[in-house]
């Protein structure tokens, strides 16, 4: 029979990257070679041992801390460019550290709670309100390793907008009655909000807008907006468009919905807004005053090389991609050698088709492919396709070319070597 301990260890293991898996295997004195699945299987066989569970737990906690640090860096760099005082104050105004602030609208302290990991937020929410199992009736076995409240998720959902103020605090859509025939229930959220003179004056400036937003509470992609099926947004009695896809079509796993700009539908004083949808899933809806970021400002948010992958890790990754094999003893990557005689490095950006100027990559990517950072950001301003939460950082190709020069990697670089 599977104990709780084993079950929770398994849950943690599936979140591990190669690094964590190898850490665990090192501690267990087991070989670290093979594909990810082999490593997982090797640890699985040891799970009945309590000591192993403790090692997994330890490694898991370390991973959480390092991921939280990454995201904190991201949040921090976001601050650097909004040095206008009103924005700082507004961003801080939802700083409810340790307080209960839940989209259900109540602050009952009795239930079990979960805390947002954003160091500038730290609000607590009812687990039963915000942690939704994938299938209804399913039990929640494992809380997410990194929990972000919906306010912090929306803040990271679109780097082209800075939250200046929340005009309607996040609220859950509620179904008045659940149909017994299995069809999707009609869900609704309604609010009245007051637009102050100060905010109304800000809106005279075209950099500012008022945005209605919606997220799926248990979205696999944390940092994106998503509207319910058959979404109907009404502002002061007028219908506002939310999505371009048909009301019956689900958002794909790589898609992103945009917020609805409602500035033209509202005025100083009291405004009415409502959102309804025909959907069985759990959504959270809100309205915020936002300020637009330029492409240059978004580019400045991308963490610099120094905040990213350490050089040794990058080297190991590149060597692995270029056919490096482990030789000799089983411990450590120090024995990885480059066995290829020549390596062709493609410097063409897959998006623009031109040569990469500043090479960007997603932090979790284990390959060597890069794209032109500026092209990527510009393209996304228009199409909103990619997930920004992952442009965390990058080790520039420059470093790899330095390696080529010192002869650690031999290769011809399909023509020109930039930066050399």
* Residues within the interface to Zn ion (CB under 5 A): 102, 104, 116, 118, 121, 126, 129, 149, 152, 365, 367
Rg (CA), the chain: 24
CB 379 within 8 A of CB 311: no
User: For residues 113 and 230, which CB has a smaller minimum distance to Zn ion in the complex?
Assistant: 113
Query: Which two structure tokens, joined as six digits, stand for 373?
Result: 């950072």
Distance from C-alpha of 155 to C-alpha of 173, rounded to nearest angstrom: 20
- C-alpha dihedral (388, 389, 392, 396), degrees to nearest 10: -30
User: For residues 21 and 102, which CB has a smaller minimum distance to Zn ion in the complex?
Assistant: 102
In angstroms, give the least distance from the CB of 383 to Zn ion. Answer: 20
User: For residues 357 and 367, which CB has a smaller minimum distance to Zn ion in the complex?
Assistant: 367
User: For residues 118 and 232, which CB has a smaller minimum distance to Zn ion in the complex?
Assistant: 118
User: For residues 94 and 289, which CB has a smaller minimum distance to Zn ion in the complex?
Assistant: 94
CB 124 within 8 A of CB 118: no
In angstroms, give the least distance from the CB of 272 to Zn ion. Answer: 24
In angstroms, give the least distance from the CB of 170 to Zn ion. Answer: 10
In angstroms, give the least distance from the CB of 96 to Zn ion. Answer: 9
In angstroms, give the least distance from the CB of 307 to Zn ion. Answer: 19
User: For residues 232 and 309, which CB has a smaller minimum distance to Zn ion in the complex?
Assistant: 309
Distance from C-alpha of 129 to C-alpha of 124, rounded to nearest angstrom: 11
Query: Which two structure tokens, joined as six digits, stand for 420?
Result: 């050399």
In angstroms, give the least distance from the CB of 175 to Zn ion. Answer: 16
CB 242 within 8 A of CB 231: yes
Tell me the Ramachandran region of residue 419: left when phi exceeds 0, alpha when psi lies from -120 to 50, beta otherwise.
left
User: For residues 65 and 366, which CB has a smaller minimum distance to Zn ion in the complex?
Assistant: 366
- Residue 74 half-sphere exposure, CB side, CA atoms within 13 Å? 25
| Helix (H) or strand (E) segment spanning residue 127 | helix 127-130
In angstroms, give the least distance from the CB of 66 to Zn ion. Answer: 19
Distance from C-alpha of 30 to C-alpha of 17, rounded to nearest angstrom: 17
């Amino acid at each position: 029979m599977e104990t709780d301990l084993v079950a929770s260890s398994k849950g943690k293991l599936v979140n591990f990257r190669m690094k964590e898996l190898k850490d665990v295997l090192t501690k267990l004195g087991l070989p670290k070679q093979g594909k990810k699945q082999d490593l997982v299987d090797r640890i699985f066989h040891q799970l009945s041992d309590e000591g192993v569970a403790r090692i997994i737990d330890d490694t898991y906690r370390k991973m959480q801390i390092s991921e939280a640090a990454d995201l904190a860096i991201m949040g921090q760099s976001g601050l650097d460019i909004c040095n206008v005082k009103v924005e700082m104050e507004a961003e801080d105004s939802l700083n409810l550290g340790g307080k209960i602030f839940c989209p259900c609208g109540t602050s009952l302290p009795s239930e079990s709670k979960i805390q947002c990991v954003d160091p500038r937020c730290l609000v607590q929410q009812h687990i039963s309100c915000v942690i939704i199992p994938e299938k209804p009736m399913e039990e929640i076995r494992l809380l997410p390793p990194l929990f972000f409240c919906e306010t912090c998720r929306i803040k990271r959902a679109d780097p082209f907008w800075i939250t200046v103020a929340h005009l309607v605090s996040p609220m859950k859509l509620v179904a008045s009655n659940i149909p017994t025939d299995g069809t999707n229930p009609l869900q609704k959220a309604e609010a009245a909000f007051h637009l102050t003179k100060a905010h109304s004056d800000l809106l005279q400036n075209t950099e500012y807008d008022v945005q209605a937003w919606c997220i799926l509470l248990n979205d696999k992609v944390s940092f994106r907006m998503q509207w319910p099926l058959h979404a109907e947004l009404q502002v002061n009695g007028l219908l506002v468009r939310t999505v371009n896809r048909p009301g019956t079509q689900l958002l794909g796993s790589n898609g992103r919905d945009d917020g609805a700009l409602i500035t033209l539908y509202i005025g100083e004083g009291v405004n009415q807004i409502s959102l309804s949808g025909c959907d069985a899933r759990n959504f959270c809806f809100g309205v915020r005053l936002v300020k637009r970021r330029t492409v240059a400002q978004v580019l400045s948010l991308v963490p610099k090389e120094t905040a990213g992958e350490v050089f040794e890790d990058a080297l190991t990754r590149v060597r692995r991609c270029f056919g490096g094999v482990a030789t000799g003893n089983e411990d450590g990557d120090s024995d990885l050698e480059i066995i290829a005689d020549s390596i062709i490095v493609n410097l063409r950006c897959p998006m623009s088709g031109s040569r990469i100027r500043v090479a960007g990559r997603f932090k979790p990517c284990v390959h060597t492919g890069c794209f032109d950072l500026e092209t990527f950001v510009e393209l996304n301003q228009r199409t909103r396709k990619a997930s920004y939460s992952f442009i965390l950082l990058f080790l520039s190709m420059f470093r790899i070319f330095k390696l080529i020069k010192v002869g650690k990697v031999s290769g011809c670089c399909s023509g020109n070597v930039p930066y050399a």
